[in-house]
Amino acid sequence: MISEKIKSQIGGEMVIRAMFEKGIKMKQEFGADNVFDFSLGNPNVPAPDAVRDSIVDIITNTAPQKVHSYMPNAGFPEVRKAVADHLNSRYGTGYTPDNIIMTAGAGSAINLVLKSILDAGDEVICLAPYFAEYKGYIQNYYADVVEVGPMDDGSFYPDCEKLAAAITPKTKAVMVDTPNNPTGVVYPEPVIKEIAAVLKAKEQEFGTVIYLISDEPYREIVYIEHEGELPWLPDYYDDTVVTYSYSKALSLPGERIGEVIVPDAADGSKELIGAITTCNLLTGTVNAPSLMQLVLARCLDEKADVGFYRKNAELLYEIVTEAGFEALKPQGAFYLWMKAPDGDDNAFTDMAAKHKILVVPGSAFAGPGYVRLSFCVAHDMIERSRQAFMDLGAEYK
């Protein structure tokens, strides 16, 4: 009874889902405290007090017909203005409410952009390793995923020569997320400049428009030293569209609140904004949840508790290296990218599970030979996992 298309798409979701179910089973069997679950990306920091205070204030002092009502499909104009002003003050941009479309999280934002630009048979490039769900998002619109691997110097920066070679006249977009899920890498400015140069050259060569979709749910969660803000991708490449989520920045993942930013400089920006807005309606999502729109407009200056994640990153990195594993030191997001000692990430994932450590095999992110450890977990759990990692390491000595 299920569509053939969906059957094929569901397959791709099975790895992480299987991991999730394995986790539940193991916790039932061994007790929750005895399983070290690094498989999930669920923020573990409470939302800032300002979120609670804003909710209570809005719900008490604003008429419910306003708070819970339909609004233009792009979102409340005053919320979009607040977002635009906030970005302008951070990045020196000149955005107006028209450049902002509020969405049900970044996942929905990406889908609305892809739906707006893709026809069947079009191509979208993903820079491997990449967030597993991009694949499903692209296939939703009968388009094809083209994977481009990273540099082979261990940096996990994209290989821009391979990127250039992968672009065809059918390439409609390139997905990029920095800070990166699953590697925890933050692309430095020269890498961004190189990506931009490749895309510009290919747009000219083919006479096409290639959108860079910059997915930035982890924008605020950065551990490396940097002066001021990280590079703002639309400053480097005009045809950039940014998708953002408040899931991580404000610890609101269940609320489904995010946005798309389409700068005026992006080719066909007016038509694209119109299409994205209409797609909000066409997909039945209609608009981002109304109360949360009003809430986030008051909480834009709140900061994610980066210190919590930094402490976790440092402890987990210390433990896994002490246990003899090779790993990238997390630069941002909340993931640690660790090498499977014998190169087989699926077998290594199984071996880790024997030691009650749950990780996700890199193959699920088109990054075979590595596993992803999510450290948005209780600090205490990481501490308690030390011996299990030592024992796991001993298996490979």
- Residue list 347-386, contact with a second copy (CB under 8 A): none
Q: Given the complex with a second copy, which of 185 and 360 has the nearer CB atom?
A: 360
Q: Which is nearer to a second copy, 104 or 145 (CB)?
A: 104
Q: How far is the CB of 64 from a second copy (least distance, A)?
A: 4
Q: Which stretch binds a second copy (CB under 8 A): 44-52, 77-85, 313-321, 334-342?
A: 44-52
Find the binding residues for a second copy in span 52-91 (CB under 8 A). 52, 55-56, 59-60, 63-65, 67-71
Give the H/E segment covering residue 194. Answer: helix 189-206
Phi-psi region of 369 (alpha: psi -120 to 50; beta: other; left: phi over 0): left
Phi, psi of 148 (to 5 degrees): -120, 125
Residue 131 or 370 with smaller CB distance to a second copy: 131
Which residues 6+ apart lie within 8 Å of 121 measured at CB?
Answer: 142, 143, 144, 170
CB-nearer residue toward a second copy: 133 or 314: 133
Q: Which residues contact 49 (CB under 8 A, 6 or more apart)?
A: none
Rounded least distance, CB 159 to a second copy, Å: 27
Q: Contact 327/338 with Cβ under 8 angstroms? A: yes
Tokens for 169?
Answer: 């006249």
Residues of this chain, 1-30, that bind a second copy according to CB under 8 A: 1-6, 9-10, 13
Tokens 């797609």 belong to residue: 279
Figure out which of the listed residues 36, 131, 137, 218 binds a second copy, where binding follows CB under 8 A. Answer: 137
Least CB distance to a second copy at residue 183 (A):
21
Residues 199-218 that bind a second copy (CB under 8 A): 209, 211
Residues in the chain: 397
**Rounded-to-integer distance, Cα 320 and Cα 337, Å:** 11
Binders in 256-315 for a second copy, by CB under 8 A: 256, 267-268, 271-272, 274-275, 278-279, 281-292
CB of 112 within 8 A of CB of 103? yes
Burial per residue of 248-267, b for 16 or more beta-carbon CB atoms within 10 angstroms, e otherwise: bbbbbbebbbbbbbbbeebe
* Residues 159-178 interacting with a second copy (rule: CB under 8 A): none
**Number of other residues whose CB lies within 10 A of the CB of residue 56:** 10
Number of residues that bind a second copy (CB under 8 A): 78
Residue 36: strand pairing partners? 357
CB of 228 to a second copy, least distance (A): 30
Nearer to a second copy by Cβ, of 116 and 331: the residue is 116
User: Shortest approach of a second copy to residue 390 CB, angstroms?
Assistant: 30
Instruction: Assess 141 for contact with a second copy (CB under 8 A).
Output: yes
For the bound state, the minimum distance from the C-beta of residue 59 to a second copy, rounded and expressed in Å, comes to 5
CB of 111 to a second copy, least distance (A): 4
Considering only residues 235 to 254 of the shown chain, the ones binding a second copy according to CB under 8 A are: 251-254
Nearest to a second copy of 120, 301 (CB atom): 120
Comparison of 59 and 164: residue with beta carbon closer to a second copy: 59
**Least distance in angstroms from the C-beta of 4 to a second copy:** 5
Question: Considering only 133-141, 196-204, 221-229, 381-389, which stretch makes contact with a second copy by CB under 8 A?
Answer: 133-141
> With b meaning 16 or more CB within 10 Å and e meaning fewer, what string describes 326-335?
ebbebbbbbb
Here's the x/- map for a second copy, 90-129, by CB under 8 A: it reads as: --------------xxxxxxxx---xxxxxx-x-------
With CB under 8 A as the contact rule, the residue among 136, 149, 341, 369 that binds a second copy is 136
- Candidate residues 85, 98, 133, 305; the one interacting with a second copy per rule CB under 8 A: 133
Spatial distance between the Cα atoms of 75 and 353, rounded to a whole number of angstroms: 44
Q: For Cα atoms 298, 301, 302, give the angle at the middle one, nearest 5 degrees.
A: 90
Strands 123-127 and 36-37: unpaired
Query: Going by C-beta distance under 8 Å and a sequence separation of 6 or more, which residues neighbour residue 310?
Result: 223
Question: Is 388:357 a contact under the CB 8 Å cutoff?
Answer: yes
- Give me the residue label for tokens 């038509």: 271
